[in-house]
Amino acid sequence: MLEHLFDQGWEISPAGGATGEAFFARHQEKKLFLKRNSSPFLAVLSAEGIVPKLVWTKRLENGDVITAQHWLNGRELKPVEMTQQEVAKLLKKIHSSKPLLTMLERLGKERFQPEHMLTEIETGLDYDVLSLPIVRHGLSFLQNEIENIRHYEYVVCHGDVNHNNWLLSDNNQLYLIDWDGAMIGDPAIDIGLLLYWYIPEEDWENWLLQYGIPLTDHLRLRMKWYVVSQTLMFIQWHKGKARFHEMNHWIEYLHSIL
């Protein structure tokens, strides 16, 4: 299918992933990462140095668009490495980027409001999950605090700052990959998950200094609100997939943060 994009001698193999739309192409020392129908947003991420460099974009006869990026030798960050200054700096660069924001707006992305998230949770939690007292406690927290977490600085958020999505290349360049869930929202969406999951609370202030903002009570509340939201969604998601071990992990986690 993709072979005719290349001269002979290129070897193409699936790259795994949920969508089945990603491939590796290799020819001697040259290696590319191919993706079908990735968003035009990728070009801006590449230009800003946030993802590995975009090499070319080609349109197939059937209308599909294939993008090719440099396939870098590197590795995911380990959880313990998320405390590094480079992580804070790259996240700040993303949140401060006007080209990224302009591009997402041009692509028709609406600003993500906390009401959207609350509605999604209220309508998405099933009877069994809602019967858990800690889940009802979490939901009450979200409902009671929604008016107190208003924030009017909207930025491009990645939405899943899990350590698996941070790529450190062999020449020590840090990237944040997998932008399928990108949104325009409160920076606390990304910051909250990163701090809650990876940074000991006594180090939050220092980490945020590297990022470039102070730790205020308002930021604390916004971070907690989004982390509780995400945790409730994780509980329901794992329940839906019958992954009860993971579901119980997130129920325990909800206890720990509430």
Residue 101, CB-side half-sphere exposure with 13 Å CA sphere: 16
Catalytic one of 7, 126, 128, 160: 160
Helix 204-211 to helix 188-198 angle (10° resolution) is 140
Which domains are seen in the chain, by residue range? 3-71 (3.30.200.20), 76-257 (3.90.1200.10)
* Half-sphere exposure (Cβ direction) of 137: Cα atoms closer than 13 Å: 9
Whole-angstrom Cα Rg for the chain: 20
Active site residue 186: no
Helices within 26-165 (DSSP H only): 41-47, 85-96, 98-106, 114-124, 127-130, 133-145
In this prediction the pTM is: 0.89
258 residues of the chain, pLDDT tens digit each: 566 666 667 888 887 665 567 888 888 878 888 888 778 899 999 999 999 999 888 888 888 888 888 888 889 999 999 999 999 999 999 999 999 999 999 999 999 999 999 999 999 999 999 999 999 999 999 999 999 999 999 999 999 999 999 999 988 999 999 898 999 999 999 999 999 999 999 999 999 999 999 999 999 999 999 999 999 999 999 999 999 999 999 999 999 999
